[in-house]
Amino acid sequence: MFFTINETRNALKAGKTTSQKLVQTAVETFEKDKSAAIPLNAFIELYEDALAKAQNADKEIEAARKEGSSALDKLFEEKPLLGIPFANKDNINSKGHRLTCASKILEGYVAPYNATVIDRLEKAGAIALGRCNQDEFAMGSSTEYSCYGPTRNPINREYVSGGSSGGSAAAVAANQALFGLGTETGGSVRLPASYCGIYGLKTTYGVLSRWGVVAYGSSLDQVGILGHTPADIAEPLSLMSGVDFYDDTSADLPDAASLKKLTALSDAEFKALKIAIPKQFLKTEGADKDVIKCFEETRAWFTSKGASVEEVDLPILDASIAAYYVIALSEAASNLSRFDGIRYGRRVDNQKGYDELYVDTRSEGFGPEVKRRIVIGNYVLSEQFSGDTYKKGMTVRARIQREVAAVFEKYDIILCPTCPTAAFKLGSKVDNPLEMYLSDLYTTFVNLARIPSINVPAGRTSLDSMPIGMQFAGKMFSEALILRLAQNWENDHAECGIPVKE
């Protein structure tokens, strides 16, 4: 497997490799991993038609090559990702393939249509390689809440890969796919990207259509992209973004065309940057000393390059994680009510009536973390509390949006760590949900404010050399800015990434 999209595309054009070889290598790696003593468990399954699609891509490339270099160039202009395999998350519909959200309740379900993001990638020639593991219904921060078992970190398999998009992140970090799709509601792309030492982008709400993505918290959910480099995120983003007829919340991304060939900021552009650091994120309680050290080094990098760095006061951020969980769990309880054993998915019918069918199906089909969040969400939405708690959460959210937007009237970027700690060992937090929830301490404000943010690999822990990530957050629709800034970071810190080459 080649390392980046551009390297792979050049190799395909030059005839140094074929799409079929890329997919076949992934199949062999998948089969080898399944029988390993400690499997990575990044992919749940590979799609059976991936190899046939790769063969068709090779035929197109070979036919264009026979016509000459201009025909080959034209082909890749029309289909810039032709023959490139990517990893899909198990909650994004891929037509004709199983989709379970890593839950027993959707066991055997087959997607009847493509999600918009899948459709747009396939029109660009990309090949969906298979579906990746995740926390059940995207509820978790470690990919331990999966009916398929946990995904392990490719850097050290005793550690978690992060969640809920841990399968996609592990697949990319282990070089099993060139890029991956994930989803996040409160940090589920950036968190596993941080834990696995790769780049992970959470886009502005609406930039990537949610049509065909199984809902967790509808007002917060967003598709994200994971890759080895900023360019490996920018190009798929440019192809997937834009208004979708099927998603009323979708929106166009300004400067999307410029992302096809990503360039770093010039020296003059960099020196004009104004960086804000919220004082609320300078508190060291719960933050690992290695994370604090990496944060200070990142701050020093901005200063050394000539950017202006200032601390700002945003007291409302102290309420972000509480507001996030009130809103997310309420919406989750509502969205998951459709899984009732009647319309689709698992059905447990003991012939005792509809109420018992509903209870038995959900009791058997949902895992403990999903049940916990449904119970809490319904409690918040109950007649006694909905006016006092849920509405207050929405009020806090509105204030976070206003105050974060006000920061961006003066500053270009908000800088903070991605997570208070590096990846933790499997099983160390699974029985302590509150501690697990605090993994999202630095990420949830981004989702509440609906702004874009990218995780960049920033270093490693001193004890066990696990990856540490920092995040650059920008104002709404500033994906081009933060990706170009991430390219500056990549140019200066390529050694911070920790690719695992087979």
One-letter amino acid at 482 equals I
CB proximity list for 294: less than 8 A, separation 6 or greater: 417, 458, 459, 468, 470
Instruction: Please state, in angstroms and rounded to a whole number, the distance separating the CA atoms of residues 167 and 151.
Output: 6
Mapping DSSP onto H, E and C, the string for 73-115 reads HHHHHHCCCCCCEEEEECCECCCCCECCCCCHHHCCCECCCCC
Half-sphere exposure (Cβ direction) of 5: Cα atoms closer than 13 Å: 30
> Which residues contact residue 20 at a Cβ distance below 8 angstroms, ignoring those fewer than 6 apart?
51, 54, 55, 58
Q: Which residues are catalytic?
A: 89, 164, 188
| Amino acid making up residue 432 | N
- Block residue for tokens 């919406």: 331
State the Cα–Cα distance between residues 192 and 164, nearest whole angstrom: 8
Q: How far is CA 97 from CA 90, 109, 269, 388, in A?
A: 10, 8, 45, 43
Q: Angle 479-493/230-240 helices, nearest 10 degrees? A: 160
Look at residues 211, 141, 224 and name the one whose alpha carbon lies nearest to residue 181. Answer: 224
